[in-house]
């Protein structure tokens, strides 16, 4: 599949933004948001909503008619893309209210904050899930129609959001707790294992459809393209027949694993023994590394995915 930059930016940036918002929501549920440090909240909510908005705006540039994007809220009954749009708006509403209450609200016992936090968390997870399901629901793309795709979208949002929160807490907060560091390490490890399992799974899974099935001509023997229907690549080939990055898939997977999991994990581990000033540097480095890593991972997610339609264009099996 052709990796559209706008969609890569969207899923990476919004994913991290939703993840960060989710962690902020969780702090209310756990009760630790009762102190509600203003500067930290302002920066953290600001970064979260800025990333979410930047990603959503980037995604509209993928559209042929972005001025009609509002129409995408209507078909939530059947379309995961529409559901994602609806959930994104809902998250703005609920999450925005939660942010306002956190920053300026006069809440005594804290339960309104906890309730809104819970709703925000649900919205965040649902939005990330919808993003994953846009891809996971497509039966035509074997590597996407996989049980781990939607959970991985959620997990990567949560992990990159956590790294962002760590950096913000390190810079403007009261320093990172040991628990926060161990939670981060556990999440990075989980994400790495899940992604490695996904990669090994799509590599070994059988390609079930053949050119013989696609044309129905398999009964006569092997089907080979003789004359293409067009002299230059058409839309279908440009969009679905993208193969450039596949040559480097193994190397790019190693790079993604290094930048997205290994480097952030080592940097986070070092925070256990580093001075507060160094922790700031380590946390920021982890964010930069994971951002680059998730971009490579997302690029591969598209570039490695084979579409069934390529069977008509010379692929043996998909």
Chain positions contacting another protein, by CB under 8 A = 1, 62-66, 68-69, 71-75, 77-82, 85, 134, 137-141, 208-209, 213-217, 219-244, 248, 251-252, 307-309, 312-314
Q: Count of alpha carbons within 13 Å of 81, Cβ hemisphere only? A: 10
By beta-carbon proximity to another protein, the closer residue of 165 and 211 is 211
Nearest approach, Cβ of residue 307 and another protein (Å):
7
Q: Rounded to the nearest whole angstrom, what is the least distance from the CB of residue 304 to another protein in the complex? A: 15
Sign for the pseudo-dihedral over CA of 66, 123, 117, 292: negative
Calpha distance 261→269 (Å, rounded): 12
> Tell me, what DSSP letter sits at residue 146?
S
Residue 76 or 92: which CB sits closer to another protein?
76
CA atoms within 13 A on the CB side of 52: 29
Helix (H, G, I), strand (E, B) or coil at 233: coil
CB of 255 to another protein, least distance (A): 9
CA distances from 266 to 69, 122, 185, 258 (A): 42, 31, 9, 10
Q: Which is nearer to another protein, 108 or 221 (CB)?
A: 221
Q: In whole angstroms, what is the distance from residue 102 CA to residue 279 CA?
A: 26
**Based on CB atoms, which residue is closest to another protein, 124 or 141?**
141
Please, which residue, 121 or 136, has the CB nearer to another protein?
Answer: 136
CA quadruple 225, 227, 229, 233: dihedral sign: positive
Residues 166/24, Cβ–Cβ less than 8 Å: no
Q: How far is the CB of 135 from another protein (least distance, A)?
A: 9
Closest distance of CB 177 from another protein, Å: 39
Closer to another protein by Cβ: residue 69 or 171 = 69
Give the dihedral sign, CA 281/282/284/288: positive
Query: Closest separation between CB of residue 98 and another protein, Å?
Result: 27
């Amino acid at each position: 599949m052709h990796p559209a930059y706008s969609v890569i930016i969207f899923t990476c940036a919004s994913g991290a933004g939703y993840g960060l918002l989710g962690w902020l929501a969780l702090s209310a549920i756990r009760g630790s948001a009762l102190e509600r440090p203003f500067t930290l909240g302002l920066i953290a909510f600001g970064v979260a909503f800025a990333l979410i908005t930047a990603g959503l705006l980037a995604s509209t540039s993928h559209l042929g008619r972005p001025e009609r994007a509002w129409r995408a809220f209507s078909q939530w009954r059947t379309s995961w893309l529409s559901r994602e749009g609806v959930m994104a708006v809902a998250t703005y509403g609920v999450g925005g209210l939660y942010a306002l209450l956190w920053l300026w609200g006069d809440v005594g016992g804290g339960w309104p904050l906890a309730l809104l936090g819970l709703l925000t968390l649900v919205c965040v997870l649902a939005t990330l899930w919808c993003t994953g399901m846009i891809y996971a629901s497509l039966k035509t793309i074997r590597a996407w129609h996989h049980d781990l795709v939607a959970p991985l979208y959620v997990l990567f949002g949560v992990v990159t959001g956590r790294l962002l929160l760590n950096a913000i807490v390190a810079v403007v907060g009261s320093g990172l707790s040991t628990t926060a560091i161990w939670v981060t390490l556990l999440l990075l490890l989980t994400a790495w294992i899940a992604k490695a399992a996904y990669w090994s799974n799509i590599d070994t899974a059988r390609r079930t459809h053949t050119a013989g099935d696609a044309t129905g001509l398999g009964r006569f023997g092997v089907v080979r393209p003789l004359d293409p229907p067009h002299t230059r690549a058409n839309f279908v080939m440009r969009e679905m027949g993208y193969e450039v990055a596949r040559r480097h898939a193994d190397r790019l997977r190693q790079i993604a694993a290094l930048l997205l999991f290994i480097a952030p994990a080592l940097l986070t581990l070092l925070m256990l023994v580093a001075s507060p000033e160094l922790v700031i540097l380590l946390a920021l480095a982890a964010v930069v590394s994971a951002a680059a890593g998730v971009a490579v991972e997302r690029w591969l997610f598209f570039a490695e995915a084979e579409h069934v339609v390529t069977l008509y264009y010379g692929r043996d099996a998909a």
